């Protein structure tokens, strides 16, 4: 599974003019399931995101996790992270999980996140979403779990 994680001061997801998920300080996680991904990989990705030390400590060093700072987690499905651009100018998404499997793994990831972390918000799977964020830093990190 793949994720792009952004440390944010605030973020929200809007679908058809309504806010469906919003957080203050925390992580915006764009999450993608690829073909062959499993629940075990989803669990590993979640564990990595919750423990990723990208928030500043008292000395200004990135040494705290989203859990350490009691931040929010905004999880957004993003199949385009699986894009392959090596064959030309139009991306291929054949590496992305099929929609049913992608939804199953996304739902599993979100359920596990809600069981492990107190503030979890989401976008809507397969919706046309507008993601608004204030990237803090900026800090943007790709995370891959195999």
Catalytic residue among 80, 94, 130, 144: 80
Catalytic residue among 6, 25, 78, 122: 78
Whether 29 and 145 have beta carbons less than 8 Å apart is answered as no
Average pLDDT over the chain, rounded to whole?
97
**pLDDT tens-digit profile of 107-116?**
999 999 999 9
| Catalytic (active site) residue 78 | yes
Q: Which whole-number Å values give the CA distances from 7 to 32, 73, 86, 146, in the listed order?
A: 18, 10, 29, 23
| Catalytic (active site) residue 41 | no
| Catalytic (active site) residue 80 | yes
Q: Which domains does the chain have, with CATH numbers?
A: 2-144 (3.50.80.10)
Catalytic residue among 41, 79, 109, 121: 79
pLDDT at 53: 98
Pairing mode, strands 62-64 and 129-144:
unpaired
**pLDDT tens-digit profile of 25-82?**
999 999 999 999 999 999 999 999 999 999 999 999 999 999 999 999 999 999 999 9
Is this model's pTM higher than 0.75 or not? Answer: yes
């Amino acid at each position: 599974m793949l994720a792009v994680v952004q440390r944010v001061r605030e973020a929200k997801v809007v679908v058809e003019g309504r806010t469906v998920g919003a957080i203050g300080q925390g992580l915006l996680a764009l999450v993608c399931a690829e073909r062959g991904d499993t629940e075990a990989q989803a669990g590993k990705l979640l564990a990595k995101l919750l423990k990723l030390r990208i928030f500043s400590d008292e000395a200004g060093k990135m040494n705290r996790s989203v859990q350490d700072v009691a931040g929010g987690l905004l999880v957004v499905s993003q199949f385009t992270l699986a894009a392959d651009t090596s064959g030309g100018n139009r991306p291929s998404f054949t590496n992305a999980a099929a929609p049913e499997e992608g939804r199953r793994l996304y739902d599993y990831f979100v359920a596990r996140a809600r069981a492990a972390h107190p503030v979890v918000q989401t976008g809507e799977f397969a919706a046309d979403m507008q993601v608004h964020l204030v990237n803090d830093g900026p800090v943007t990190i790709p995370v891959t779990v195999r």
